[in-house]
């Protein structure tokens, strides 16, 4: 699902799986994938809000700003500097020489075409995912002496409403992926997710988490005064079922091991599925510890107004018989109206499992 042109930036939850869903991504592979992800994040002017690398698939929640106006694009010096800081001296040197040569020979049109070749990849989620997966596949195939595709499909993406509850909910769902897979009981113990990177001191992950926690769930002003340590504690509360709106009351508890006891108060995943089968609803903490297809197949997720806006601006993609875009997430108990979440698709078969 592509963001409407009216949005100055968009947030996408991107998912891709290994062909045949084979468990081939070990520690070395995950480390290299993460290195490439951070490299192209900087080069293409994006921001990774949350991520989780598993043994046969990955989740990435990424912010994609709208491409700047032509007069605001980086000049030659800035472009070369960006390439040098991410791809190294060789590619930057080649680009610098070629641009200078074209300028000196009066080939301005060719120089602009070369710049556009780079800019067309930036601020673009499709190009980011394409290059990331291609580069990783090339490295993986060399390392394992294999040929052919590594990924089973292009990639799937869900458009997520930014700077509100939907974005925080999606990020928590991604961080909890290893918990759902029963790899660990606490996501801080899983080395290849954004929360664990932030806990370990990763600057980029910490800044993204700090920004995420600073958002008002109802779209109000951000909490600019929030420090990194408090942000980590607040997010831990969120992951263990304490609403962000109440984080200040629980922040000290979250800093210590006592926060872990919150998880024991939740019903088990199996019990959660029994509740759903009986037509009941789950709290958000319980909901996020189940596999929720809305978060990977829902097309767009956010408030009712947000999903309806996306529906109106992408009306040509849907049947003429369809009158409304927003569909309530089945099985999720959110009593407060401002916090209710909606998806573009109404999943009929096993939306939660």
- Convert the pLDDT of each residue in 268-302 to its tens digit: 556 656 665 656 667 777 788 888 888 998 889 99
pLDDT category at 157 given cuts 50, 70, 90 is very high
Residue 239 has which token pair? Answer: 């992951």
Residue 227, phi then psi, degrees to nearest 5:
-90, 170
Q: Is the pLDDT of residue 225 over 90?
A: no
Q: Which of 158-162, 168-172, 261-265, 315-319 has the lowest average pLDDT?
A: 261-265
Report pLDDT for 319.
Answer: 77
pLDDT above 90 as % of the chain:
55
Report pLDDT for 279.
Answer: 60
Residues 6+ apart with CB under 8 A from 109: none
Specify whether the CB–CB gap between 25 and 33 falls below 8 A: yes
Report pLDDT for 271.
Answer: 61
Residue 198, phi then psi, degrees to nearest 5:
-65, -45
pLDDT mean over 317-340 = 74
Share the mean pLDDT of the chain.
86
Closest CA to 12 of 4, 3, 20, 21: 3
pTM: 0.88
Specify whether the CB–CB gap between 108 and 115 falls below 8 A: no
pLDDT digits (tens, 9 = 90+) for 67-104: 999 999 999 999 999 999 999 999 999 999 999 999 99
Report pLDDT for 1.
Answer: 60
pLDDT digits (tens, 9 = 90+) for 2-35: 666 777 889 999 999 999 999 999 999 999 999 9
Residue 108, phi-psi category: left (phi > 0), alpha (psi -120 to 50), beta (remainder): alpha
pLDDT category at 191 given cuts 50, 70, 90 is very high
pLDDT digits (tens, 9 = 90+) for 236-270: 888 887 655 555 444 444 444 444 444 444 455 56
Q: Where are the domains of the chain?
A: 70-119, 169-265
Higher per-residue pLDDT: 249 or 141: 141
Residues 6+ apart with CB under 8 A from 5: 313
CA–CA–CA angle 29, 210, 284 (5° rounding) = 80
Report pLDDT for 18.
Answer: 96
Q: Is the pLDDT of residue 321 over 80?
A: no
As beta bridge partners, residue 10 has 64
Specify whether the CB–CB gap between 67 and 122 falls below 8 A: yes
Report pLDDT for 242.
Answer: 67
Report pLDDT for 261.
Answer: 47
pLDDT mean over 201-224 = 87
Closest CA to 56 of 178, 159, 143: 178
């Amino acid at each position: 699902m592509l963001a409407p042109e009216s949005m100055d930036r968009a947030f996408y939850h991107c998912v891709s799986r290994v062909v045949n869903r084979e468990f081939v991504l070990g520690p070395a592979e995950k480390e290299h994938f993460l290195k490439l992800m951070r490299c192209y994040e900087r080069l293409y002017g994006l921001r990774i809000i949350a991520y989780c690398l598993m043994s046969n698939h990955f989740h990435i929640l990424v912010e994609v700003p709208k491409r700047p106006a032509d007069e605001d694009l980086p000049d030659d010096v800035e472009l070369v500097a960006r390439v040098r800081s991410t791809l190294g001296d060789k590619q930057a040197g080649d680009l610098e020489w070629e641009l200078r040569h074209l300028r000196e020979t009066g080939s301005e049109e060719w120089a602009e075409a070369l710049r556009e070749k780079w800019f067309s990849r930036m601020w673009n989620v499709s190009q980011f995912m394409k290059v990331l997966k291609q580069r990783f596949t090339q490295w993986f195939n060399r390392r394992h002496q294999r040929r052919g595709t590594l990924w089973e499909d292009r990639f799937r993406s869900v458009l997520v409403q930014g700077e509100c509850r939907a974005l925080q909910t999606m990020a928590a769902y991604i961080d909890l992926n290893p918990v759902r897979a029963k790899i660990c009981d606490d996501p801080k113990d899983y080395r290849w997710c954004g929360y664990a990177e932030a806990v370990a001191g990763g600057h980029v992950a910490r800044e993204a988490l700090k920004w995420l926690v600073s958002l008002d769930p109802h779209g109000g002003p951000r909490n600019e005064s929030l420090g990194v340590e408090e942000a980590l504690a607040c997010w831990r509360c969120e992951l263990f079922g304490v609403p962000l709106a109440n984080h200040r009351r629980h922040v000290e508890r979250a800093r210590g091991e006592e926060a872990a006891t919150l998880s024991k108060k939740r019903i088990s995943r199996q019990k959660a599925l029994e509740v759903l089968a009986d037509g009941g609803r789950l709290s958000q903490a319980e909901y996020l510890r189940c596999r929720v297809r809305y978060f990977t197949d829902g097309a767009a997720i956010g408030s009712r107004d947000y999903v309806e806006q996306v529906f109106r601006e992408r009306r040509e993609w849907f049947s003429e018989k369809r009158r409304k875009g927003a569909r309530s997430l089945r099985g999720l108990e959110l009593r407060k109206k401002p916090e209710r979440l909606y998806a573009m698709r109404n999943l009929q078969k096993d939306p939660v499992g």
